[in-house]
Structure 1
Amino acid sequence: MEAKKHRRLTLKERVQIETLLNENRSKAYIAKLLNRSRSTITREVNKLVINSNDKYDAHLSHWCAKDDYLNKRNLDKISTHKPLKYFVYKGLLSEWTPEQIAGRIKELYPNDPIMSISHEAIYRHIYTRPQASLNKKLIKLLVRKKTRRRPVKKKRGTGSKIINQVSIDNRPKHIELREEIGHWEGDLMIGKNQKSAIGTIVERKSRYTLIVKLKARNSKEVAEMFSKILNKLNPIFKKTMTYDNGIEMARHEIITQKTGMEIYFAHPLLFMGKRY
């Protein structure tokens, strides 16, 4: 009797598995229909379905399996631990930033050393092989879609050009819990060829986002337009804003004067994408 050769599941089979699971078919039924062992189907499903709220995703599973096969000799933490890997990839496909993914994992798995990852480690995983086909897809899922991640440039001098900054270290600790509405995260998105820019202000708890149209990237324009859009909000939604050290925020005190919002600044070398 000829021994059966080991065959990896195909995308077509994974789509069938997803379809049949959505029809509430048992793993034994699926295994018989696909002429696969029940253990093969069980392992495949359990890689993605960790708890009752998870759903099996055929394309995500196939994507990860292909990456596992191609990179067995070069595994980082994300590639080594499949539950972590699926959580990270699922987050990227859901248009979460690495900062959001890292924060969400911390909230859901506070005492699990395996389900723990920094946003920097996620970025390193994505940019380890920037020319590989999978990594190209991962890069496209990022907000800025840069093909290379440039190191943070060291600035000349010892002081910041932004005066009277208040460090994020002095921000009230309860803001980190994201339980109270009214605390925001600001950022500047640069357009193609550095010719345009828009401001984004994201509410930490609800993730409600304000888009600020800017005619220029200078601090005067940013202060004026940020203040204008924030002052359209009910005062109960205007408490604090956290920002990076971009020079466009040099007139942060004007925003505080006009809106009543305290502004905190992240550490320069830790800011890269950005969720505080």
Structure 2
Amino acid sequence: MDFEIRDERKPQGPRRLVAERAAYFQLMEQGYSTREAARIIGINLRTGKKWRNGHHSPGKGKKPVPSIYPVPGQQSEEAVDRREPASRASRYLREEERIHIADRVREKASVRQIAAELGRSPSTVSREIRRNRRPMPKGGFAYQPFHAHRRAERRRGRPKVGKIGQCSELRDFIQDHLTMRWSPEQICQALRTRFPDRPEMHVVHETIYQALYVQGRGELRRELTRALRTGRAMRRPRRHADRRINRPVKNMVMISERPAEASDRAVPGHWEGDLIIGRNGKSAIGTLVERSTRYLMLVHLPDGHTAYATRNALASTVQALPHHLWRSLTWDQGSEMAAHRSFTVATDIPVYFCDPASPWQRGSNENTNGLLRQYFPKGTDLTTHAPEHLAAVAAELNSRPRKTLGWETPAERLAKLLATAS
């Protein structure tokens, strides 16, 4: 400040306090409160408030005085009217814009009018007033621009350490279960179940995805993305899948004729089936998923996936469970089920076929096939996997908690069914 502060703070009469006013606003820019700035300059608190807020009720016969802000380097009585704010340089509100909002709020202007004057969205102005207003001692709220600006600046402190990075126990738990190929949503539910009274151990699945994918966070090891179902190192938008070629099978019974009890999943014993294909279409593994329990069985196909090889392998696999748990089988229109009638004669299990290009009619099976691709990647030879390995993979998937089962596992649901039947 290029002037000497008055030691004797007496009323100055009609004297124009140009230098004091410039120093007052300089202190306000530095974050001083109205009261502290007025004390340093040596002016009355009411004078400082008039300089900052304007004087809208000066008395009879006098014009209102808007709030003023001295032009930098100008030592005169001229001031800038805050109703013409400078153009904005960022998506965050600047201090002069908050001053403009405060002026117009006192003048009872609408939020949309203020937003139009600032070139902002009405929701931005409304949210700013609601978040940063200040409770008054006598009740009610007031929007004070300098107080609002300080609050906004404090909230914008970056960068912040994420929740996973703050807690080593949480990070280790997540990394261990990602290694076991659990999905982020399954991990989040397991955290809430295991640590019900520790909110610092609770996260949502999006937090885990961001810890893996967002650059600069480094809260989880990058290589753990390979343990996710997609195995992608980067996120990418979804795209439409290629439509399958329709290869009709003779004498098909369509899914529209399947019993209604299979649709609502209330009665166990209705299964969905498909193949996952290996390199060059020369190898395959059969997948069977029970609609009610989501229990998985894998079918070993050492002799290929022709119609008769598939029929024989399926007929052998279904003998592993009691007959009352095999009420129907739903398949797509793949040529591997061309011998479906002889399969039904041998096992007494009716086979129903989905409509063309309608994978959602076998949703549980399609979802499970996606999970299995973590174990059997596309473009690999599937004949190298022995029946023991297929059984181990199925057991691992059947021991995962499922959201659709109330976070029970398929193995637990099937055990309940078997116990009830016995």
Q: What is the TM-score when the length of structure 1 is the normalising length?
A: 0.52
2:278 aligned residue: 191
User: Secondary structure of 2:317's partner?
Assistant: helix
1:10 touches 1:62 (CA, 8 Å); kept in 2? Answer: no
What are the within-5 Å matches in structure 2 for residues 59-138 of structure 1?
A: 60-64=206-210, 133-135=234-236
Q: Which amino acid aligns with 1:151?
A: D
Runs of 4+ aligned structure 1 residues displaced above 4 Å come to 17-20, 52-55, 64-69
2:270 touches 2:327 (CA, 8 Å); kept in 1? Answer: yes
**Match of residue 320, structure 2, among 216, 232, 252:** 232
What are the within-5 Å matches in structure 2 for residues 214-253 of structure 1?
A: 214=301, 215-253=303-341
How far off is 1:230 after superposition?
Answer: 1.0
Structure 2 distance, partners of 1:62, 1:171, is 40
Residue ranges of structure 1 left out of the alignment (5+ in a row):
21-47, 70-92, 96-125, 140-147
Provide closer, same or farther for how the CA distance between residues 191 and 259 of structure 1 changes in structure 2, counting only shifts above 3 A: same
Structure 2 distance, partners of 1:178, 1:9, is 46
1:243 touches 1:265 (CA, 8 Å); kept in 2? Answer: yes
Paired residue total: 180
For the aligned residues, what is the CA RMSD? 4.2
Residue ranges of structure 2 left out of the alignment (5+ in a row):
1-30, 32-149, 171-187, 216-226, 365-422
Structure 2 distance, partners of 1:207, 1:18, is 34
Per-residue CA deviations over 1:27-76 (Å, capped at 9, x if unaligned) read: xxxxxxxxxxxxxxxxxxxxx89xx879833674152589899xxxxxxx
2:255 touches 2:353 (CA, 8 Å); kept in 1? Answer: yes
How far off is 1:233 after superposition?
Answer: 2.6
Per-residue CA deviations over 1:92-125 (Å, capped at 9, x if unaligned) read: x996xxxxxxxxxxxxxxxxxxxxxxxxxxxxxx
Provide closer, same or farther for how the CA distance between residues 133 and 163 of structure 1 changes in structure 2, counting only shifts above 3 A: same
Q: Which amino acid aligns with 1:238?
A: W
Q: In the alignment, does 2:296 pair up with 1:209?
A: yes
Q: Which amino acid aligns with 2:353?
A: F
Say which structure, 1 or 2, has more relative contact order (CA 8 Å, 6+ apart).
Answer: 1
Provide closer, same or farther for how the CA distance between residues 131 and 275 of structure 1 changes in structure 2, counting only shifts above 3 A: closer
How far off is 1:14 after superposition?
Answer: 3.5
How far off is 1:195 after superposition?
Answer: 2.9
**Match of residue 242, structure 2, among 128, 151, 170:** 151
1:16 aligned residue: 166
Provide closer, same or farther for how the CA distance between residues 163 and 247 of structure 1 changes in structure 2, counting only shifts above 3 A: same
1:242 touches 1:266 (CA, 8 Å); kept in 2? Answer: yes
User: Secondary structure of 1:257's partner?
Assistant: helix
Structure 2 distance, partners of 1:164, 1:220, is 16
Q: Which amino acid aligns with 1:133?
A: M
Larger Rg: 2
2:306 touches 2:336 (CA, 8 Å); kept in 1? Answer: yes
2:250 aligned residue: 163
Q: Which amino acid aligns with 1:197?
A: A
How far off is 1:254 after superposition?
Answer: 1.1
Per-residue CA deviations over 1:79-101 (Å, capped at 9, x if unaligned) read: xxxxxxxxxxxxxx996xxxxxx
**Match of residue 263, structure 2, among 161, 176, 187:** 176
Provide closer, same or farther for how the CA distance between residues 170 and 273 of structure 1 changes in structure 2, counting only shifts above 3 A: closer
Provide closer, same or farther for how the CA distance between residues 15 and 222 of structure 1 changes in structure 2, counting only shifts above 3 A: same
2:158 aligned residue: 7
1:15 touches 1:58 (CA, 8 Å); kept in 2? Answer: no
